[in-house]
Amino acid sequence: MVGRYGALAHGPQDGPQDGPEATPGICDPFWGIWPVVPERFDTVTAHRVTKVYGATRALAGVTVTFRAAQVATVEGGNGAGKSTLLSVLATLARPTSGTVTYGDLELPDDRVAIRTSVGLVGHEAMVYPDLTARESLRFMAVLHDLADPHGRADSALAAAALDDIADRPARTLSRGQLQRLALARAQLHDPSLLLFDEPTTGLDAASTTRVERSIAEARSRGRIVVVVTHDLAFAARVADVRITLERGRVKATVPNHPG
C-alpha cells in the first residue's frame, strides 16, 4: 500500500521512496520478518536538515530537538515544510543534507532499529481496506514480531473501544473509527517516537477529544510526540512546545502550557 508516506512501512516497497539507494523494509516478505526489539531513545534531533524535490526546497536547514514525555506541535501555512519534516522523522524521506539522530542512533546505519521504534498516524489509516480491524492489528503484530499477536490485537481493540466493530472490514468504518484504528495500529509495538499528521482533520468533537486523550497518554508513557496541525486551538490544548515553520525554516519555538 503506497500513499502520501510511501509504503505501508511493511512491504517490498518499504524504505526511502525518493532515491536510488532504497533498501529492503524491516518486514520485506522477500527477506523474511526481522525480529523486532524496539530501541528506546529520549530525544530526536534534526540538525541542519534540508530536503529538496527538484527545484523545490521543502526544508532549508531545520534544526530542532524533540524530547521524551513532551508533545511538540509543528505549525505553519501550506508549503511550510511540515509534512516533509514529519516524513523525514519517520525515515520515509531521506534528507538531501543534514542529519537526524534518535538518541545514539543515526541513519542510515541504524535504520532498522529506528523504524521499529516509530509509530505514524497519518491522514489515512494505513490499513488494508478488506481486512477487518482485528485482522489488521493481528497482521501488524505479526509483522512487528510481537508475542501473542492475537492477544495483543484484542487488547488494543478494547483500549480503542473498537470491540463492537472489530470484525468489520476497514472500508466500512467511519472516519472516526478509522482514526481510532490508526491510533491502535501506530502504538501497537510501543514506539519511542509517535508522529501525527493533521490527526483531527474531518473528525467530530468526540473523536477529536479521543485523539487528545491518546496524545496525553502517549506523553504520560514517556513517548516523544510530534504533531503536525493547522488547528491552532487543538495545538494550544495538547502542546508542551509549539514550533512554527515558514518556507522550510524554523520561524519560532515557544513553550506552551496546555490546560
**Model confidence pLDDT, tens digit, residues 33-83:** 344 556 789 999 999 999 999 999 999 999 999 999 999 999 999 999 999
Structural domain count of the chain: 1
Q: Which three cell numbers stand for residue 258?
A: 496546555
Dist. CA 112–CA 110, nearest whole Å: 6
Q: Is the pTM of this model over 0.85?
A: no
| 3-class SS shares of the chain: helix, strand, coil, % to 5 | 30, 25, 45
249 belongs to a structural domain: yes
185 belongs to a structural domain: no
201 belongs to a structural domain: yes
Q: What is the CA radius of gyration of the chain?
A: 17
| Contact (CB, 8 A) for 29 and 54 | no
227 belongs to a structural domain: yes
164 belongs to a structural domain: no
32: exposed, middle or buried (Cβ count in 10 Å: 0-12, 13-18, 19+):
exposed
Dist. CA 112–CA 116, nearest whole Å: 6
159 belongs to a structural domain: no
184 belongs to a structural domain: no
143 belongs to a structural domain: no
Domain that holds residue 83: 36-117+191-259
Name the 3-class secondary structure at 14. coil
| Contact (CB, 8 A) for 160 and 183 | yes
Domain CATH for 90: 3.40.50.300
Cα–Cα separations (whole angstroms), residue 118 to 29, 192, 221: 20, 6, 14
Average per-residue pLDDT for the chain: 86
**Model confidence pLDDT, tens digit, residues 149-208:** 999 999 999 999 999 999 999 999 999 999 999 999 999 999 999 999 999 988 889 989
The total of other beta-carbon atoms located within 10 Å of residue 231's CB is 17
